[in-house]
Amino acid sequence: MFRLTFSIAFLFVWTLCEIVVIEKQKDQIYSGHVLFEVPMPMWSICAQYCSRVKICKSINFIAANKTCQINDAEPGKSECALVESIGNSFVAASTFPQELAGQCKENNCKLNEACTPRGTDYYCVPLPIKVSEISTQLRPGDCSDLPQGSCSGVYTIYPSNETIDVYCEMDTAGFGWTVFQSRMDGTVDFNKTWKDYEIGFGDLKSEFWLDKSTNRHDRYSVNGDSLMYFYNSNTWNQNGMMFSTYDKDNDRSPSNCALAYKGAWWYNSCHYSNLNGKYLGGQHSSNADGINWGTWKGFGYSLKSTKMMIKRQ
Ligand SMILES: [Ca+2]
């Protein structure tokens, strides 16, 4: 007990003597990137610990229970990357002055170790977690696990044993949607193979297909030239229709619907909608091979943007 008290006191003195200035962001935290937590008496000690841990890119300090959260990322420039969290604080490691690490400046400790100063030297101690290990309660399983107030954008989520980046839609239809299809400018070709749809393709910041883990529609909403399509199930068929690509014909037509309509969809024989069709950007003279929603704008009008998304119930 005495030794513990002493070492904490020493850290305080050390910090005060160095007069290291660290800027924290009050009443804000960065969520979704917490690697592990350690108890710490105050936020500046938490920042100092972070400066000695290679995988630490930023910290949250939770004041109520004096918890230091070590994040493996820094937020981007987006205005609402940080979420409001009254009484707590956030510090990005890139803003640390070099002296903060003390003897541990430019240390040779490994990724799974924390550097600890000793005299004029330092030693390395294992982190309280395995770096490869995921602490599930600290990591969002999907977009709806992120704290209220998080903005739309790309987040790392941890469903079961995976680590994947996804685009979370937080604004347009309520909070917590995981987007699995996005069209907006025609930069990505969606006329792709079964294999492509199985693993996903495109760019999360613009147009993409996440993977085939989602399906069956629940409801949809339309707005101008945009359409949003909401899913609520985890099966790979829709109203009994199997998904088809041009190289895998699961439709109910004697012909190949995906080939005929240049898309990949839950074709029957063949379709009322074709959101993975060709990006034609409005009116088109070809028949039903654009991003069509037949009952809304007909088969000669290709929508300019679509999003298909899913939320856990
Ligand atoms: Ca067929």
Segment 46-71, tens digit of pLDDT: 999 999 999 899 999 999 999 999 99
Q: What is the 257 CA–ligand 1 centroid distance (Å)?
A: 6
Cα 25–Cα 136–Cα 211 angle in degrees, nearest 5: 100
pLDDT at 141: 80
Separation of CA 263 and ligand 1 centre (Å): 14
In the reported structure, the alpha carbon of residue 253 is separated from the centroid of ligand 1 by a whole-number distance in angstroms of: 4
Rounded Cα gap, residues 251 and 259, in angstroms? 11
φ and ψ at residue 173, rounded to 5 degrees: -135, 35
Tell me the CA–centroid distance for residue 259 and ligand 1, in Å: 10
Q: How far is the CA of 183 from the centre of ligand 1 (A)?
A: 26
- Ligand 1 centroid distance, CA of 244 (Å): 9
Q: Which amino acid is at 102?
A: G
Q: Are strands 226-233 and 305-310 parallel, antiparallel or unpaired?
A: parallel
Tokens standing for residue 107: 């240390």
Encode burial over 117-156: b for 16+ CB neighbours within 10 A, e otherwise.
beeeebebeebebebeebeeebbbebbbbbeeebbbbebe
Mean pLDDT for 70-89 is: 81
pLDDT number for residue 216? 37
pLDDT value of residue 18: 53
Average pLDDT over residues 180-190: 95
- pTM tops 0.75, yes or no: no
Q: How confident is the model at residue 114 (pLDDT cuts 50, 70, 90)?
A: very high
In the prediction, which pLDDT does 11 show?
A: 41
CA of 211 to the centre of ligand 1 (A): 23
Between the CA of 50 and the centroid of ligand 1 the distance, in Å, is: 58
- Once rounded to an integer, what is the mean pLDDT over residues 124-138? 68
CA torsion sign, 267 to 271 to 272 to 275?
A: positive
- For the chain, percent of residues with pLDDT exceeding 70: 79
Task: Name the more confident of 132 and 210.
Answer: 210
Residues contacting residue 108 through CB under 8 Å, at least 6 positions apart: 124
Distance 196 CA to ligand 1 centre (A): 20
Ligand 1 center to 247 CA (angstroms) = 11
Strand ranges (E), 135-268: 153-157, 164-169, 177-183, 201-202, 208-209, 215-223, 226-233, 237-238, 241-242
185 CB-near residues (< 8 Å, 6+ apart): 206, 207, 279
> Which residues are within 8 A (CB) of 23 and not within 5 positions of it... i.e. 6 or more apart?
91, 95
Region 18-25: what's the mean pLDDT? 77
pLDDT at 263: 94
Tokens of 159: 């469903």
CA of 11 to the centre of ligand 1 (A): 71
pLDDT tops 90 at residue 108: yes
